[in-house]
């Protein structure tokens, strides 16, 4: 089978997704990473879905009111839409960063990577965590303190429009969907932080714990190291012969 970016795709198998292999206790924090990464990605996906649902609803709300007023009224909700879209982008980044790591430890748990890759994924994880925290703070402030505004018409006309289109409400924090979005986003922050801690703790250490038989570990080195050592790209080596990063 083809080799893609140094990974032999023939090494992938359905058996790798079995409970016995996924939760093999010999690999360093592998079980914990599977659980925490999955929880973080699911929470962020739920927050992302809630945020996008709210964005669509508020955009439709704006369109309906402006069309009804023959574009005399202006509806202002860009603050909420900006915060929600920012949150969606960060949630997508969480799924990308930890999703890639998830599949790497699923199919190639013993690979040894270069310092550059380890530094890159650690930096991405830290930036993602900080971005998620910023998105959660921004969204919390806007949802709890801000409201959608309608200008260009009288107060009585505004009330008529609100009565005609009551959902979503003008005050962001009074809509349960927005409250759920904020709660899920903060839970996603906690999951992302936990995932980042695990990634930092295991970025250069996939060594199996010394319990039972030690699994074999494949190494992924640069071309010069392979040529000098005589080790092929797909050669499998015992853990005791692991090439240092």
Residue 8 or residue 234, greater confidence:
8
| Tens-digit pLDDT profile for residues 106-132 | 877 777 777 888 888 899 999 999 999
Residue 129 or residue 26, greater confidence:
129
Cβ neighbors of 95 (< 8 A, separation 6 or more) are: 41, 44, 45
Grouping H, G, I as helix, E, B as strand and the rest as coil, residue 149 is strand
Residue 133 maps to a domain = yes
Quick check: 65 and 93 in contact, CB under 8 A? no
Instruction: Specify the pLDDT at position 29.
Output: 79
Distance CA 28, CA 14 (A): 22
- In angstroms, how far is CA 15 from the centroid of its own chain? 26
Distance CA 227, CA 229 (A): 6
Residue 241 maps to a domain = no
pTM of the entire predicted model: 0.78
Query: Which helix (H) or strand (E) segment is 236 a member of?
Result: strand 236-237
Quick check: 242 and 109 in contact, CB under 8 A? no
| Tens-digit pLDDT profile for residues 170-191 | 999 999 999 999 999 999 999 9
| Tens-digit pLDDT profile for residues 46-89 | 999 999 999 999 999 999 999 988 889 999 999 999 999 999 99
Residue 149 maps to a domain = yes
Instruction: Specify the pLDDT at position 132.
Output: 97
Residue 11 maps to a domain = no
Quick check: 207 and 242 in contact, CB under 8 A? yes
* Helix spans in the chain (H): 19-22, 30-68, 78-107, 115-145, 155-164, 176-202, 223-229
Instruction: Specify the pLDDT at position 238.
Output: 35
Band (44; pLDDT cuts 50, 70, 90) = very high
Distance CA 208, CA 82 (A): 45
Residue-range definition of the domain harbouring residue 73: 26-213
Instruction: Specify the pLDDT at position 6.
Output: 63
Instruction: Specify the pLDDT at position 1.
Output: 61
The total number of structural domains in the chain stands at: 1
Residue with tokens 């919390």: 140
> Does the structure show a pLDDT above 70 at 224?
no
Band (9; pLDDT cuts 50, 70, 90) = low
Dihedral class, residue 73 (left if φ above 0, else alpha if ψ from -120 to 50, else beta)? beta
Query: Which helix (H) or strand (E) segment is 8 a member of?
Result: strand 7-8
């Amino acid at each position: 089978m083809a080799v893609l970016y140094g990974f032999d795709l023939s090494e992938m198998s359905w058996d790798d997704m079995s409970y016995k292999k996924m939760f093999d206790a010999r690999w360093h924090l592998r079980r914990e990473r599977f659980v925490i990464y999955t929880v973080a990605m699911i929470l962020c996906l739920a927050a992302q879905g809630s945020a996008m649902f709210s964005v669509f609803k508020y955009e439709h709300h704006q369109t309906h009111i402006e069309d009804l007023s023959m574009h005399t009224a202006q509806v202002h909700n860009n603050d909420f839409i900006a915060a929600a879209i920012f949150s969606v982008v960060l949630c997508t980044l969480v799924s990308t960063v930890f999703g890639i790591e998830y599949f790497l430890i699923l199919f190639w748990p013993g690979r040894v990577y270069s310092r550059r890759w380890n530094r890159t994924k650690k930096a991405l994880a830290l930036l993602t965590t900080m971005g998620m925290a910023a998105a959660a703070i921004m969204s919390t402030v806007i949802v709890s303190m801000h409201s959608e505004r309608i200008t260009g018409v009288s107060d009585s006309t505004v009330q008529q429009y609100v009565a005609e289109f009551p959902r979503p409400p003008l005050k962001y924090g009074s809509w349960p969907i927005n409250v759920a979005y904020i709660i899920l986003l903060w839970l996603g922050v906690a999951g992302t932080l936990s995932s980042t801690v695990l990634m930092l703790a295991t970025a250069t250490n996939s060594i199996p714990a010394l319990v039972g038989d030690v699994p074999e570990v494949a190494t992924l080195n640069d071309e010069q190291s392979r040529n000098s050592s005589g080790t092929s790209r797909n050669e499998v080596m015992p853990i005791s012969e692991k090439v240092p990063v």
